[in-house]
Amino acid sequence: MSTFERSPNTEASRPIYKVYKRRFWGLAQLVLLNIVVSWDVCATLRLIHISTLHIADSRIQWLTFSSISTTAAEYFDVSESAINWMSTGYLFAFCVVSPIVIWILNKGGPKPAIITTATLLLFGNWLRYAGTRANGGIFGLAMFGQILIGFAQPFCLCAPTRYSELWFSDKGRTSATAVASLANPLGAALGQLIDSEWASKPSDIPNMVLYISIISTVAAIPSFFLPASPPTPASASSAKPHTPLGAAVRELTRTREFWQIFIPFSVYVGFFNSVSSLLNQILSPHGFSETEAGIAGAILIVVGLVASAIMSPITDRYKHYLGTIRVLVPVVAATYIGLIFAPGSPAGIPPSYVVMALLGAASFVILPIVLEYLAEITYPLSSEIGSTICWTGGQLLGACFILIQDALKAGAGAAPPYNMRNALIFAAVVAVVAAPFPMTIGLFGRAVHRRRWDVDRGVELQQVGEVDGPVDNVKRVRSDESAVDTDTLIKT
């Protein structure tokens, strides 16, 4: 229940919405869980190129065993194909568990999702450790623990929009979503650096898994002590009930603007995953070392995090969601075109660094903005529904793109041998094809409003009109950036 104050001009009471400092504890816990889960599962796919002296092809790997796949295979006395199942199992786990994620976030809010993440992390990590330690290594037990950790990922990856909507006002939602969501690639980067140091030979694997299990346990325990919701609503929109889940899913799938966001989101998340995974294979045929590829990957993430840290508060203040999307989507598409030419540039590695910096900045900035914008224009549909579906699409396409791009790799007779030019052309073409979808939101006679923000400003939804169709009794606007004040809406 919200608190009230007496208005000096009327005897009616109006609600006062308040945010609490404790919201940052929950946000910090969500950030920590995303880092740890990403460390365990590596939200971005990584393709490890095995030396042709040992194996003739490449395989999909995930973090904990990705950079040491041969070592892990030797330890468990199984094939590298079996080790790869510990990786690809995450993709299936994410898709299988996504409907449960939507249901838990919708019915219980972010705390049950956070507790589910923590519980799965605890059981998964220690079962995996038991599998590495017992009887010289029990692969099936380690595999089962790995799958449990895979189930944990979507619960914390899809929770930020729901958490920010519940605990933050419109002045901080985008920043909160950005911090929690982008902790995922940060955890992946940390894991890639640390795990290889912890396990350089087969006998190191149990200790490596033990260290990760201890870190995960310390990170998971505070989850059980977080408050479920603030004492009073953070905003008018968070105080109002959402559309029931079944009706919300049906309405969302009939909303054109959802598909205009879902398609490019899935494509760009998928290509970000594949390019960051294949970066070494993209650069090495042109004579660049693994160290230089590592620097390019670091630039991709670091520049992206810094850019998002700068832009998210600005977006919170000015609410230029669609305008920012229309600026950044062409930049993202252009970086994939530039990536075709950068590795083979006579200028050496600097052009590749520039492309990685632009790709990281544009991708990291646009991700939380798109998620928050989707929540804005589909309100009162609960925000986790659209975000979970979008993340699931990105995970699936990421796996598909890696397989496709690896198949498009040139042969030994190419110039240079094993170059990935055709794979990069494929990425650029698909990225350009996906670009018009978000660019045309709000055009062709459709008025798209920031509905959640309108409610926070005191504008009733029935005065704003529907997002999923032309508006006949509401003044048309060219985009969501056109200012619409309350008096205009009421008169219309």
Please report the pLDDT score of residue 195 as a whole number. Answer: 65
Which DSSP symbol is given to 478?
Answer: S
Per-residue pLDDT at 441: 93
Task: Name the more confident of 398 and 286.
Answer: 286
Check whether domain 20-240 has CATH 3.20.20.80, yes or no: no
Q: What is the pLDDT of residue 364?
A: 95
pLDDT higher at 399 or 385: 385
More confident: 116 or 9: 116
Whether residue 158 has pLDDT greater than 90: yes
- Per-residue pLDDT of 353-393, as tens digits, reads 999 999 999 999 999 999 999 999 999 999 999 999 999 99
Under a CB-based contact definition with an 8 Å cutoff, are residues 296 and 353 in contact?
yes
Contacts of residue 384, Cβ cutoff 8 Å, sequence gap at least 6: 101, 102, 105, 106, 158, 159, 161, 162
- Report the percentage of the chain scoring pLDDT > 90: 48
Task: Pick the closest to residue 196 from 52, 70, 35, 78 (CA basis).
Answer: 70
* Sign of the C-alpha dihedral computed for residues 337, 339, 340 and 345 taken in this order: positive
Q: What is the pLDDT of residues 409-446, one digit of tens each?
A: 898 888 899 899 999 999 999 999 999 999 999 888 78
Average pLDDT over residues 439-454: 86
The pLDDT assigned to 471 comes to: 35
Q: Phi and psi for 4 in degrees, rounded to 5?
A: -130, 155
Give the rounded percent of residues in the chain with a pLDDT score beyond 70: 77
pLDDT band at 461 (very low <50, low <70, confident <90, very high): low
Of 16-30, 199-213, 441-455, the one with minimum mean pLDDT is 199-213
Write out the CATH class of domain 243-441.
Answer: mainly alpha
Q: pTM of the entire structure?
A: 0.81
Q: What is the pLDDT of residue 80?
A: 42
Q: What is the mean pLDDT of residues 449-471?
A: 63
The contacts of residue 236 (CB under 8 Å, 6+ apart) are 15, 17, 455, 456, 458
Q: What is the mean pLDDT of the chain?
A: 80
d(CA 106, CA 97): 14
- CA separation for the pair 139, 136 (Å, rounded): 10
**Helix H or strand E segment including 310:** helix 290-318
The stretch 460-480 carries a mean pLDDT of: 40
Higher pLDDT, 233 or 479: 233
**pLDDT, average across residues 166-189:** 90
Rounded CA gap, 260 and 129, in Å? 43
Q: Which of 319-323, 346-350, 476-480 has the lowest mean pLDDT?
A: 476-480
Following CA atoms 300, 315, 158, 390 in sequence, which dihedral angle do they give, to the nearest 10 degrees? -80
Residue 396, number of CB atoms within 10 A of its CB = 17
What residue ranges do the domains of the chain occupy?
20-240, 243-441
Q: Are 465 and 471 in contact (CB under 8 A)?
A: yes
Check whether 196 has a pLDDT greater than 80. no
pLDDT band at residue 479 using 50, 70 and 90 as cut-offs = very low
Q: What is the pLDDT of residue 332?
A: 97
